[in-house]
Chains A and B, each alone.
Chain A
């Protein structure tokens, strides 16, 4: 094209980024990559290789080794062998390594960016300006945490060998999110990048060699699902960190159920992008571009559901369509494009099929007038309007540049639509009214709420999901807990700390008492069991001392409904919740003798022992009452001009299966932290000694605990646990019991991804403060929501 022609047309021309250095890197490995194990490149035992392609051109980039079970075993053993020394060098030395990684990534930033762009198909602008800078930032930030670890987090220790499986949409960025905190907290790593996009992880392995990272601290093994499965199932792996689809996340959860492996999952999403009528609509349009046309829409937290206030919907749709016309799709290395290639043909087909279904279902589909290039795997930006929530495109994660838009009439309807999903990863809401924004933000069930922005990330802020978007956070202080465990856990043991008593039972056989009908406690009322059966409770000598109701699945159902029906407990101020908790302690104190006697009767305790349990219970109530208004969130120091609030929120409706031992204290120690954090609970008290809990009904009645906040169902522990674990309207479950029961809870909870906390049959000494209370309980009873609030007039 001549200059004159361009002068007249003012068109854009091609602006290709050079790929020379990236190709040189591939050639330096003869375009054939081995496995990075124990600091060296090893040919795979599988002797098998697979191709990695450039989705913009469909051309082969390199061959990658496929790790089999033997290779995975080698990698894990190498990580395990490296662990003791890595722990021993301490936080400061680890910090130096992380700092070196950050520097090295910065020094080779463009090489990483170009290689990522070639391999994944995402625009060079994004890898250059977003992915790689965030990677460096993540290592810098965690170099700091490594330094602080030994002094500021001294109650914790490393988890051990971490198996990490990352997705193809942000290959190096997800690597950094996984590796940086793992190393900072003293763990060693076996990382499996996604089979479509392993190249930057392999370049990263070279960087690890360059900085002299001790061999085995990081191992990179390539391969597909089977390699990942071998890693997940390896016995010497202590934790799995996975980012990927919800479907695979559930498989992993079930696979490691009961093994005691720690697990963090960052899964899919169908994140709402909510626009209120007073928003800056032109800015909203750019927000939409960043929400769904960033990285071809292949973003777990993509704002893929556009919820627009009815009054401005047409205006906004017109603006979005005009903007879509100016988007440019093309080769990922072209510096003049907005949207690159879809990662692989299989993903392109998924997108295509779902769009076809969306059209067939009668949704209004709109695409810009221009055509995509044909030499690669491209898909045009696509907008569906007037989408109904029942439509498949409004429900499933498309993972492509497809936006489903619908309208709402009122704020409350917006919240309902936003939460009408099994996912809960992120959300974005747009309004110029700070009151409205801060009213809506806590109501959205999502780990991240971006106010007047979207897809903004930083290492200092935690990222992760609610509901089936997974659990655990990555980034910030909250993310570190995924890579360490309380040192006190080592003291837990497989036998109970509850003293076996030799005392005679304290019941008085000469007095004829009044027969008591022990019912269950549901919705603040005593309820007869649905089944109409009762269970005899015996004392330490095997003599009958009372009866409790045998709850069944319908009683659980009713309890869950009662818990959901109670409004307002979570939203109560910390002070208000504390008042209720103190009142419980007050009323328990008044009836201290009675509760002590009950313990003597059930457990054959001495008066002294029984009183100690009651006193400890009162103190523990005080502990959580104290914390009800002190378990604060944080304001993260993120790199943007905004306030990033990390707020602990209630998990929602939780099931709590109490330990059998310490009938009163076990009940108090588990229920109180949960309600202090604003949860509503369904409690299964000690099966063998439930009477302390049933006696507690009257305390709850007299302590202003709103009906439905604490629901108590007695009966067969394991049967009821199974019902709870399978209940899809329960958001979290704690289980203190057997190893087998723990396994069942973890496995069955995978279906709705409820948060689980189980003891694998390891007992705590509930009397001991270090065992029976602490921030660990509060953390397990809450989840962090990060709310990003940019400012500036």
Chain B
């Protein structure tokens, strides 16, 4: 076990060319006067996918890029070693080989960005992935509601890291956001980051439970100041998950934070992203608002379970000119 752990930790080197966000001291001045105009944000969000269009080989390349950014996820009560095993196999070989060959991408070594599971399934993922360096992300800190004591949260993180998770998806305490206890939120997230150690931390804001975009922006700032490697929209369990509009709010904060500190923080929309067309829209959003540097799994991930299936079918259509069926692609 210890051996595997050491090996898995080394996957962090794939990210090593981008310095980690080390966080900064709590400074309310940086965000307290923020005001986000919802209508204006929504107008921009509504047009972003309409101002750009990627077709033909551009679309194929972009969809492959999307695949490489997927955190292939299973977060169910009935997860067992067998479906986690399938998930891992699919993660390492997400696209049918003949399709990759047709696109001359057989040697591009395309895998998804990571697999994402509950703590209890880390060990299954570790054994399924074997010698692969594919990151394993574990949801943590009382996911999805986060209603457990901080002490327990930190313990969970440490256990998951010890079990072989190289990425930890934490949830913020919504209570602290709702009550605008920003300094407490900062302390909590910072403690989580310390508990993560080498493992990269994605901080889930659960935006579907935050009443205003202004608070989403403030929570983004606090999470970044406290050292999050990624900020993430949703657990996938809230009634409203990732939307382009809320993503826009968060990535504008990422942009501003980088301008201020030089740290590039990653972004992960999660929940409700099921179609290839949506994936393209998100990539366009990232390219337009953050730039090409963010268009890779080191700084961008999709939290999704069924997205891959739709992308596979679109890619087959690109290759063959025929509309595909889902049963033609190996299931996860």
Contacts and interface: CB of A to CB of B under 8 A. Distances in A.
Q: Are A and B part of the same complex?
A: yes
Interface of A: 1-7, 9-15, 125, 129, 278-280, 282-284, 286-287, 290, 326, 335-336, 338, 432, 452-453, 641-642, 790-793
Nearest to A7: B61
Given A3-B103, A280-B37, A10 B292 contact: yes
A129 B50 CA distance: 8
Nearest to B249: A282
Interface string B255-293: 000000000000000000000000000010001100010
Interface in B48-72: 50-58, 60-62, 64-65
Contact of B65 (A7, A290, A326): A7
B41 interface: yes
Interface in B16-57: 33, 35-44, 47, 50-57
Contacts of B44: 283, 286
Contacts of A791: 38-39
Contacts of A452: 37, 39-40
B212 interface: yes
B155 interface: no
9 contacts: A3-B60, A11-B58, A125-B51, A452-B39, A452-B40, A790-B40, A793-B38, A793-B212, A793-B213
Contact of A4 (B33, B35, B104, B213): B104
Contact of A13 (B37, B54, B212): B54
Given A13-B58, A15-B53, A793-B213, A432 B37 contact: yes
B38 A6 contact: no
Nearest to A5: B61
A6 B42 CA distance: 30
B178 interface: no
B53 A280 contact: no
B252 interface: yes
Contacts of A2: 57, 104
Contacts of B56: 13
A335 B58 CA distance: 13
Contacts of B252: 282
B2 interface: no
Name which of B36, B57, B288 has the most chain A CB atoms within 10 A of its CB.
B57
Contacts of A338: 51
A452 B214 CA distance: 15
A351 to B, nearest CB: 23
Nearest to A278: B35
A334 to B, nearest CB: 8
B40 A7 contact: no
B60 A792 contact: no
Name which of A11, A279, A642 has the most chain B CB atoms within 10 A of its CB.
A11
Contacts, number: 105
B54 A641 contact: no
Given A3-B103, A453-B43, A15 B57 contact: no
A642 B283 CA distance: 30
B40 A125 contact: no
Interface string B92-105: 00000000000111
B293 to A, nearest CB: 10
A437 to B, nearest CB: 11
A714 to B, nearest CB: 54
B58 A286 contact: no
Contact of A129 (B47, B62, B288): B47
Nearest to A13: B58
Contacts of A792: 38-39, 42
Given A1-B57, A792-B39, A793-B214, A6 B62 contact: yes
B211 interface: yes
Contacts of B33: 278
B295 A10 contact: yes
B82 to A, nearest CB: 33
A15 B37 contact: no
A474 B288 CA distance: 36
Contacts of A326: 288
B43 A6 contact: no
Contact of B36 (A11, A280, A286, A336): A280
By Cβ-Cβ distance, the 9 closest A-B pairs, closest first, are A283-B40, A790-B39, A6-B61, A13-B58, A792-B38, A15-B53, A335-B53, A432-B35, A280-B37
A282 B34 CA distance: 11
Contact of A286 (B43, B50, B103, B212): B43
Nearest to B211: A793
B47 A641 contact: no
Interface residues of B, number: 40
B37 A336 contact: no
Contacts of A125: 47, 50-51
Nearest to A290: B43
A4 B104 CA distance: 7
Name which of A6, A282, A453, A791 has the most chain B CB atoms within 10 A of its CB.
A282
A543 B212 CA distance: 79
Contacts of B57: 1-3, 6, 13
B72 to A, nearest CB: 19
Given A13-B56, A15-B52, 10 more contacts: A3-B103, A4-B61, A9-B292, A10-B62, A12-B54, A14-B55, A15-B54, A283-B37, A336-B52, A790-B40
B55 A13 contact: yes
Interface string B76-116: 00000000000000000000000000011100100000000
Interface string B167-179: 0000000000000
Nearest to B215: A793
A284 B55 CA distance: 31
Name which of B33, B55, B108, B288 has the most chain A CB atoms within 10 A of its CB.
B55
Contacts of B105: 3-4, 7
A555 B65 CA distance: 77
Contacts of B52: 12, 15, 335-336
A286 B212 CA distance: 20
A581 to B, nearest CB: 40
Nearest to A431: B35
A13 B54 CA distance: 6
A283 B55 contact: no
Contacts of B50: 125, 129
A10 B63 CA distance: 11
Given A2-B104, A6-B57, A125-B50, A283 B65 contact: no
Given A3-B57, A10-B62, A13-B57, A641 B295 contact: no
A591 to B, nearest CB: 56
Contacts of A4: 61, 104-105, 108
Contacts of A641: 39
Interface in B296-324: none
A279 B35 CA distance: 7
A7 B63 CA distance: 9
Contacts of A287: 40
Contact of A15 (B55, B211, B288): B55
Nearest to B286: A10
Nearest to A791: B39
A279 B36 CA distance: 8
B130 to A, nearest CB: 26
Nearest to B291: A326
Contact of B58 (A6, A280, A432, A453): A6
A5 B60 CA distance: 12
Given A6-B62, A12-B58, A793-B214, A280 B292 contact: no
Contacts of A336: 51-54
Nearest to A322: B255
Name which of B39, B41, B292 has the most chain A CB atoms within 10 A of its CB.
B39
Nearest to A326: B288
A166 B2 CA distance: 77
A279 B214 CA distance: 12
A642 B60 CA distance: 40
Contacts of A12: 52, 54, 58
Name which of B33, B40, B103 has the most chain A CB atoms within 10 A of its CB.
B40
Name which of A7, A15, A326, A792 has the most chain B CB atoms within 10 A of its CB.
A7
